[in-house]
Amino acid sequence: MIDRYARPKMKSIWEDENKFNTWLKVELAVCEAWVEEGSIPKEALPELKKATFNMELWEQAFSRTRHDVTAFLESVSASIGPESRFIHLGLTSSDVWDTSTGLQLRESCDLILEGINNLEKILVKQATKYKHTLMVGRTHGIHAEPTTFGFKLALWVEELRRGKQRLLEAKEMISVGKFSGAVGTHATLPPLVEKTACDLLNLIPEPIASQIIPRDRHAQFTTTLALIAASLEKFATEIRSLQKTEVMEVEEPFGEGQTGSSAMPHKRNPELSERVCGLARIVRGNAIASIENISLWHERDISHSSAERIIFPDTCMALDYMLYIFSDVMENLKVNENNMYQNMESTRGLLFSQRVLLRLIEKGLSRTDAYKIVQDAATESWKDRSDFRELIRNNIKVKSLIDNEDFNSIFDYEYYTRHIDNSFNQIGLG
């Protein structure tokens, strides 16, 4: 991931230096497990724990070996004496690589969960603040009935919580280790050593593996991140739609001295939300690559490796960044409540059509007759830009059934704010 979209903490997890030091941590856990099993002398362990990784030595070795792990082992071995022969005992490269990757993914999960929790708090605060802030609901892009801005945000809260639950499940799924040798049969390393080493790393042993940890686990993780990214894209798309000039119900934060266009000084664009939408496409594409990595030749091939070097760090860094910038958008969002009201009024009462329809049915009209009366009035309102409420009030048939007091109760915006408490209560917002 380019630095523009990589935050320092997440980036540090996936930097080569940290990757190789994680490999060393894994190797030493196996050494400790071998000591407990009795195959490595106990007195060798203090010396083994002095081992360090040197990037310069690794680069020199890699230029010759063209193999990450053998170059890594040469670098580490150079830091200690004869005890280095015990490092990588009975292991294959994927034992180290896959187990270390699980540790990196788990750590990345924790950072992403922090981002989700922060965004959730912001959304809860804003949903509560704007719980009764009326605005028009839109279906197919057309005015439907009134809703509230807080209700819209409450829906996002619950969707984000589902994403968090999926991520917790995915975190558990990838928090596994594998120390079972070249094709997973434990021929060179007994299950007890694997169990002990995994316990030291706070991982669960893969119950059965080939040379690698099966990639359906990683696909679940990556697709989970893609689902969370898709939710963020949904939220950001709504912000973009509501910031259009002809709508202007909300606005992203726009800093002092910020510019929106090199050519048009008046521009104030929803560029942060647009960035979220663009990066969601990257995360989604990476999920496809992760799914395709499930199918490999026989006990393993290396076709998944090249893709994973890109998709794991980039997916984690992209989502971490998306959560960060969208949290800023929602924390500092400008909500134009007056524009929300004016936009509701722009269709001159048409959004009360269902209320009128239902009241006429209550008064005894058939649904067909009631629907025709309301639709005819709505059609005239659309055509002549006349007020739908007045057309209904002046309809002879309607006047015979509905009195003025009843009309006032039908054409009452506040009616719609009295019916959202149940949904808020169901998701714990009160």
Q: Which residues are catalytic?
A: 140, 261
Only one residue has tokens 């894209």, namely 233
Q: What is the rounded distance in angstroms from the CA atom of residue 337 to the CA atom of residue 130?
A: 9
Residue 150's CB: how many other CB atoms inside 10 A?
A: 23
Q: Do 262 and 296 meet the contact criterion of CB atoms below 8 Å apart? A: no
Q: Do 408 and 380 meet the contact criterion of CB atoms below 8 Å apart? A: no
The DSSP bridge pattern shows strands 142-148 and 134-139 to be: antiparallel
**3 state DSSP class of 390:** helix
Q: Do 312 and 289 meet the contact criterion of CB atoms below 8 Å apart? A: no
**3 state DSSP class of 135:** strand
Burial class (CB in 10 A: 0-12, 13-18, 19+), 54: middle
**3 state DSSP class of 246:** coil
Smallest Cα–Cα separation from 283: which of 241, 236, 205, 231? 231
Q: Do 24 and 88 meet the contact criterion of CB atoms below 8 Å apart? A: no
Rg (CA), the chain: 30
Residue 244 sits at the vertex; the CA angle it makes with 239 and 249, to the nearest 5 degrees, is 65
Smallest Cα–Cα separation from 85: which of 50, 146, 44, 37? 44
Where in 150-271 does DSSP place strands (E)?
A: 176-177, 204-205, 250-251
